[in-house]
Amino acid sequence: MNIDTILGDLTGRFGSKILNVNRRSSKRAYIDIYPKDIEEIVRYVFKERGFRFDTASAVDDFDALEILYHFSYDASGITISFRALLKDKQDPHIDTITGITRSAWWIEREMHELFGIEFNGNNDLRPLLLPDDWPKGVYPLRKDFIPPKRDSRKA
Amino acid sequence: MSHKAHIPIGPYHPLQEEPEFYKLVVEGEKVVDVDVRIGYNHRGIEKISESKSYDQSIFIVERICGICSSSHPIACAQAVEDISGIEVPERALYIRSICQELERIHSHLLWLGLAAHFIGYNTVFMWAWKYREPICDIFETVTGNRQNYAMHKVGGVRRDIEKEHIPYILNRLNDFTKQLNMLKGAVLDDPVLHERLKGVGILTKEDAIDYAALGPTARASGVDIDARRDHPYAVYDRVKWNVVTRGEGDVFAKTVVRILEMFESVSIIRQCLDKMPEGPIDSKPKDIPPGEGIGQIEAPRGECFHYIKSDGTNSPVRHKIRAPTYMNFPTFRETVIGETVSDATIILAAIDPCYCCTERMLIVGPDNKTAMDMNDLVRLSQEKTQRIKDRYNNRILGA
C-alpha cells in the first residue's frame, strides 16, 4: 500500500469526517479530523488496518489546543498524523483511545497533566511525570505557563 | 490480615543516578500486581527545547540519555530536516549509520553485562563490559568522546572519519567479532541459562502489538518491525543486513535478539566504512521555515520518535520526544504478573530500561517494615540460577 491508496481508503470511508488532508511527501501525511470522531478513526486504523501507534503530541496553539495522533504503517514506512483541534481551552476534552490500544495508556496521562486535557472514559489519569503535590490547574507545557522563580531562601 | 504484601521498589538509592518507583504486590512468592511511578527524573526537556535554537536542541536531546547520545540527536536532526526537506550529504549519512551501530553494540553489551549480573553470571558481566571498552575507544577516536559524542547536527555531522582511523576501527572490529562469538557461545550454549531464562516473562505477540512495543522487546515476540528497514534513514537501505526476530517472547528470546543484532551491527559498520564516498559532511542549512516534521530512528531499545513544529523562527514551537522505553515499559504489566519475585529483576531488566531502575528494590512486608532490599532480590535471582546449576552438575556427576 502506498500513501495514496491509504489516504484514498480513509477519505472514501470517512468522507465528511475528514476535514483536510495534507500530503507532505510519499511517507508523511497530516489529516485534520473532528475530535468527536477520534475513537472511530483510531479503531479503524489500529484494529483493521494494522497501523502502529507511535505516540500523540499535544500542542498549545494559543487559541486552541491540538492533539496529533501519530500512526505508522511499517510495511510501507508511512507515518500519518491525525490532528484534532480542541477549541475550548478552558475545558478541553476528547474521547480516550485506551479502550482500543493500551499503548495510549501513558501518553494520555501525560497530556492530561501537562496540558490539562480530559480524556472521556479514561479513569486512570493519575500524574505520570509531575510530582504528586503539583498545583491543580497548572499545565507546564501550555504557552501561558511561566516557571516559578526559585526562592533560594527556601533551598 | 491480608496475604498480599506490597513491595515498593525505589525511588531513590544512594548508589544510583536514575530514580524510578515500582510497587509489586506479591502473594507469597508470586507477583499479583505491579504499578510504576516515573517522573523523578523528569527534566522538562520538551519545554526547555522550546526556548533553544535548533542547534542547541540537539545539544539538549543528546543529554536525555547517556547511552543513546547518538539516537536522540539523529532523530531530532531528521525531524528538523523533514520540515523543509533539507538534503544531507551522502558521506554524513554514512557517518550517522556508523555512529548508530557503534552505539547499538555498546548499549547491547551494557545490557548483557547487567542482565548477566542479575542472574549471577558475573563472568559474562565482566566479559561484556570489558569488550565494550574497545567500542568506546572507537568512539573516542572518531568523535573525541566516549559518550555524548556531539557528532550530529541539522544537515549533517560535525566531524569526519579520518582515513587513517579506518584501519584502526577495522582491527578493533575484527577483535570484537571473536570476542562476540565467545560471548554468544557462553550465553546460547549454556544449558543452565536456557533453563533459567526460557519461558520467563513472556510477552505474547498480541500484547506486543497492542502495547505498540518496540525494538528488541517487540522483535523477540515475533513482531517484525525495525525503523532502520521500515522507515529507511541514513544509509540502511544501501547496506545488506537482516532484522533479527524470535517468536518466543521470553527473556531468553530478548537476549538472543540483542546478541545476534550485534553481529549485524558489525557487518553494517564494515560495509559503511567500505562504501563511504568522499565529499562534504554538512549541508549547512540556513533558515528553518514554518511547518512540522517527524524523525523516526531505531535506537538500541527501539524506535525513537521526535516531532518538531516550527513557526519560522530559530527555535521550535513544540518538540515532542518519545523514547522507546516509554512504549516498552508498560508491557511489564503483562510479563511480571504471575511470575515469582526472584524473576522480577530479570524480567524488568529484559526490556532494557535504565538499569538503575531495577537496582533500587526494597521489599516491605504488610507491617511496613523492610524485609528485603535490592541486594536481597538480586541474591534471590542468583540463588535460583545456582539451584539450576547445581541440578545440572549433579546430573552430570551422577551420570
Instruction: Note whether A101 contacts B212, CB cutoff 8 Å.
Output: yes
The CATH number linked to B173 is 1.10.645.10
Higher per-residue confidence, B342 vs A27: A27
Residues B314 and B334 in one domain: no
Chain B residues inside the 8 Å CB shell of A74: 225, 230-231
B259 within a domain of the structure (yes/no): no
| Parallel, antiparallel or unpaired: strands A28-33 and A78-86 | parallel
Residues B54 and B175 in one domain: yes
Residues B175 and B282 in one domain: yes
Nearest to A106 among B42, B231, B330 (CB): B330
Chain A residues inside the 8 Å CB shell of B330: 102-103, 105-106
Instruction: Note whether A55 contacts B320, CB cutoff 8 Å.
Output: yes
Nearest to B39 among A75, A79, A129 (CB): A129
Task: Count chain A–chain B contacts defined by CB atoms under 8 A.
Answer: 76
Residues B297 and B308 in one domain: yes
Domain edge (last residue) among B326, B347, B368: B326
Q: State CA B179 to chain mean position distance.
A: 21
B143 touches chain A (CB under 8 A): no
Domain span holding position B341: 4-40+329-398
Residues B143 and B291 in one domain: yes
Quote ipTM for the complex: 0.94
Residue B157: helix, strand or coil by DSSP?
Answer: strand
B212 within a domain of the structure (yes/no): no
- Residue ranges of chain B whose pLDDT lies below 50: 1, 13-17, 355-369
B57 within a domain of the structure (yes/no): yes
The CATH number linked to B344 is 3.30.390
B188 within a domain of the structure (yes/no): no
B190 within a domain of the structure (yes/no): no
Average pLDDT of the segment spanning A71-79: 95
Residues B84 and B154 in one domain: yes
> Is the torsion defined by CA of B323, B325, B330, B334 positive or negative?
positive
Q: What is the pLDDT of residue B28?
A: 81
Residues B172 and B119 in one domain: yes
Residues B78 and B173 in one domain: yes
Residue A42 phi/psi, 5-degree rounding, is: -65, -40
d(CA A32, CA A85): 8
Which residue do the cell numbers 468527536 mark?
A36
Calculate ∠ Cα B305-A116-A29, nearest 5°: 35
Residues B316 and B351 in one domain: no
Instruction: Note whether A72 contacts B309, CB cutoff 8 Å.
Output: no
Question: B114: which residues sit within 8 A by CB, 6+ positions away?
Answer: B125, B349, B355
Chain A residues inside the 8 Å CB shell of B47: 140-141
B305 touches chain A (CB under 8 A): yes
Residues B294 and B147 in one domain: yes
d(CA B48, CA B52): 7
Residues B85 and B165 in one domain: yes
B109 within a domain of the structure (yes/no): yes
B145 within a domain of the structure (yes/no): yes
Instruction: Note whether B211 contacts A55, CB cutoff 8 Å.
Output: no
Average pLDDT of the segment spanning A58-77: 94
Q: What is the pLDDT of residue A146?
A: 84
A131 touches chain B (CB under 8 A): yes
Helix axes of B374-398 and B90-118: crossing angle, nearest 10 degrees? 80
| Grid cell listed for B25 | 504486590
Residue A56: helix, strand or coil by DSSP?
Answer: strand
Residues in chain B: 399
Domain edge (last residue) among B299, B326, B353: B326
A96 touches chain B (CB under 8 A): no
How would you class B77 by CB atoms within 10 Å of its CB: exposed for 0-12, middle for 13-18, buried for 19 or more?
A: buried
d(CA A50, CA A44): 9
| Grid cell listed for A107 | 501518553
Question: Smallest Cα–Cα separation from B272: which of B299, B302, B234?
Answer: B234
Residues B29 and B173 in one domain: no
B265 within a domain of the structure (yes/no): no
* Spatial contact of A124 and B37, defined as CB atoms under 8 Å apart: no
Question: Smallest Cα–Cα separation from B363: which of B385, B349, B380, B339?
Answer: B380
Domains in chain B: how many in total? 2
Query: What order do you get walking across the sheet with A18-23 strand by strand?
Result: A18-23, A28-33, A78-86, A65-73, A52-60
pLDDT digits (tens, 9 = 90+) for B216-244: 999 999 999 999 999 999 999 999 999 99
Domains parsed from chain A with CATH numbers: 3-147 (3.30.460.80)
Average pLDDT of the segment spanning A40-50: 95
